[in-house]
Amino acid sequence: MCVHTILEDVLLTHPAVMDAAVVPSADERTGGVPMAFIVPRGSTSPRELIAWVAEQVSPYPRIRRVEFVDAIGGFACACSNG
């Protein structure tokens, strides 16, 4: 299973998350980091979601950035099947 899919699945179990998409985001130090686009269901913050996901997964696939959006759509899968 793709890391981005795992992170999306974890985010979707948070009570303040209605929908989520995780995609790679450019990073000068590492080349790319997971970024989450979140449709909120309730009150939460990027810091809260980043910390919450970090408690659920190993250090490697942690979410590094969060942006709140009104709807998820048009995100291409970041996973490689090859």
Cβ neighbour number for residue 79 with a 10 Å cutoff: 11
Averages of pLDDT over runs of 10 residues in the chain (82 residues) are 88 96 88 92 95 89 92 67 42
Instruction: Give the separation between CA 60 and CA 82, rounded to whole angstroms.
Output: 21
pLDDT at 82: 40
pLDDT at 81: 44
> Is 73 part of a structural domain of the chain?
no
Q: How does strand 31-40 pair with strand 17-27?
A: antiparallel
> Is 75 part of a structural domain of the chain?
no
Domain that holds residue 54: 3-68
Question: Which CATH number goes with the domain that contains 63?
Answer: 3.30.300.30
3-state secondary structure of 82: coil
> Is 48 part of a structural domain of the chain?
yes
**How many domains does one find in the chain?**
1
